[in-house]
Structure 1
Amino acid sequence: MQTITETAQRVQLFNYEHWNSQLPELSSEYQGASPYPHIVLENFLHPDVLQECVKEFDKLNEGDGWINYVHYNENKAGLNNNDLLPATIKKTIHELNSPEFLEFLSALTGIEGLMKDDLLEGGGIHQSKRGGYLNIHADFTVHPHHRNWQRRVNVLVYLNNDWEEEWGGKLELWDTKMQACERKVLPIFNRCVIFNTDADSYHGHPEPTTCPEDKHRRSIALYYYTQEAQPFRRATHYMVRPGEGSKKFMVKLDNAMVAIYTEIKGMLGSNDKIVSKVLRFFSRKK
């Protein structure tokens, strides 16, 4: 009997024939979506391969290369070191960065010239434990190590088997004026969310998860860029929701710290672990 690992090595990870045959409809849905271009796709990758990714995730030691993004506006961990990623997760990321997938993504989004990021800056794999959250924000707009790379598209693939709705963790998509949440997406296994990362593409999962202690909210997160002569430059920018006036000062302070760090990182190539420690210090009395 074949193991899941052996099966994962033989099957087609992303079914190009299936997804390309639907591109006209999917592209129209994506580009016409509100509050900004996006789409939610079910059964995105071959389930056997993704289950192997889950098994590999379970075996990872959080201390080995993980970056703890713990400050006022977020509480999660990430791993983007290619040398430390397990084989099937690495294979999955490689496929989603392949020329064939980039061609699919460009046709879906209508954005030509999309480029992968081999450094997996800010991406790779993410997980958050019980109580994890990510306040509503718009993503950083320029790659810190490629100053003419404009960030254009996010691809999130969720790895959460048997995720219960009452545990929360829904990805929220907010309108560009931060008046209302227009869509909530439960992070269930093999669901993919793809969306434009414009300066006002506000999103996040701001409510702390209530999953059991032995459960985690997990995803593969990949970001794509285009090369621009004069890209719009801004660090990750967090927002307060209506009714959260009491949080405004701390959110602004955290934004200022993130912006300073982003500039330093671009100039000096500093490590993401440094910013986590600095931001945690300034927000520990939140």
Structure 2
Amino acid sequence: MNITSDEIINQICHKITANKNNILSTYHSSKSNIGYFFIDDLLPNDLAKACFSVFPDKNDMRCLKTIREHKYVSAQMNNHNPLLEKVIYAFQDDKVVKLIGDICGIETLYADQSLYAGGLSLMANHNFLNPHLDNSHDAKRERWRVLNLLYYVTPNWELKNGGHLELWPNGPKKNPIVIESKFNRLVVMATHDGSWHSVNKVNSELEARCCISNYYFSPLPLKETDKFHVTKYRGRPEETLKNIILDADAKLRMLLRKVFKKGIRKNPHIYKNKEES
């Protein structure tokens, strides 16, 4: 599709500005628990559909399959259609970052060109993501992870298909808030020591739920109570045994990080440019 990065950036800025009053209200009314807002019809429909049409097949992505999650991911954007790279980095433009920072009341925000844990994700039939807290920091453990941006591009995605974002403001033992993964919807959510979230199981054999994601980081955490932590998973309310296993898993990985500050191995989910490859 013949479109420039500036055109995509301008469209995102226009939509955020046009919806500013509504999303300000949504974010600040939810801020005491898990702050979030969403914007529908973010990009022109033909552009959003083009993103879906060039989205990589799951066989061209890395499969993550454990008791914690089952999904397909990729951060190596130069392996995929250039349009996807334009869109993902449009969210990292200074103008977009500042607009979102103003809405969320975060003075200093940094986008992440390495796409650490961001990039592309695909969830096919029976894929899921258990309730979890995101890793508190960036790959170098220098900045706090504070916002998660999720842009959904699968046309005609319905509630019955599953694969929707769930926020657990009272922890994963209570009922979640379900935010549909609607086509052409951008969701922005806060990440801190209480922002439990998940994706419910996909129930569609026809299409996959495709998402373009970014994280924003800051020198300071969103909450004064935040402390460093690894990604923590939990079972769903009905998954008692799984919850015990995942709790033990999180404690073990946290213990290892106390010894190995930056982890035992380098996280492979980053965008390696030509100089790094």
Q: Scaled by the length of structure 2, what TM-score is found? A: 0.84
Aligned to 2:201: 208
Q: Which amino acid aligns with 2:150?
A: L
Q: 1:221 to 1:172 in 2, by over 3 A?
A: same
Q: Is the 8 A contact 1:23 1:107 kept in 2?
A: no
- Could you tell me which of 232, 252, 266 is aligned with 1:270? 266
Aligned to 1:134: 129
The residue that corresponds to 2:79 in the other structure is 84
**How far has the Cα of 1:75 moved from its partner?**
0.1
5 Å matches for 1:243-258?
243-256=238-251
Decide which of 156, 167, 170 is 2:161's aligned counterpart.
167
> What is the CA–CA distance in structure 1 between the aligned matches of 2:7 and 2:218, rounded to whole Å?
28
The counterpart of 1:98, out of the listed 85, 89, 93, is 93
CA 1:110–1:168: 2 relative to 1, 3 Å: same
Name the CA shift for 1:61/1:37 in 2 (closer, same or farther; >3 Å).
Answer: closer
Which amino acid in structure 1 is aligned with residue 203 of structure 2?
Answer: T
Letter in 2 for 1:78: V
User: Which residue, out of 170, 181, 187, partners 1:176?
Assistant: 170
Partners of 2:201 and 2:220 lie apart in 1 by: 37
Q: Secondary structure at the match of 1:127?
A: strand
The alpha carbon displacement at 1:176 in A equals 3.3
1:144-172 Cα deviation digits (max 9, x unpaired):
22x22100000101111122322211211
1:221 aligns with 2:213: yes
Unaligned residue ranges in structure 1 (runs of 5+): 274-286
SS across alignment from 1:103: helix
- Partner residue of 1:31 out of 28, 44, 58: 28
SS of equivalent residue, structure 1 residue 12: helix
Q: CA RMSD for the aligned pairs? A: 2.6
1:241–1:267 Cα change, 3 Å: closer
Is the Cα–Cα contact under 8 Å of residues 15 and 42 in structure 2 kept in the other structure?
no
The answer on whether the counterparts of 1:72 and 1:250 sit within 8 Å (CA) in structure 2 is no
- State how far apart, in whole Å, the 2-side matches of 1:18 and 1:248 are: 40
> What are the equivalent positions in structure 2 for 1:44-123 lying under 5 Å apart?
44-57=42-55, 60-64=56-60, 66-123=61-118
Structure 2 unaligned blocks of 5 or more: 270-277
How much has 1:67 moved relative to structure 2?
Answer: 2.3
Q: Deviations over 1:170-195 (max 9, x none)?
A: 21111233342341122121011111
> How many residues are aligned here?
262
- C-alpha contact (below 8 Å) 2:109/2:217 kept by paired residues: yes
Contact in 2 for aligned 1:148/1:228 (Cα 8 Å): no
Q: Evaluate the alpha carbon distance shift between residue 187 and residue 17 of structure 1 in structure 2; reply closer, same or farther with a 3 A threshold.
A: closer
Q: Distance in 2 between matches of 1:272 and 1:95?
A: 23
Following superposition, the deviation at residue 21 of structure 1 comes to: 4.0
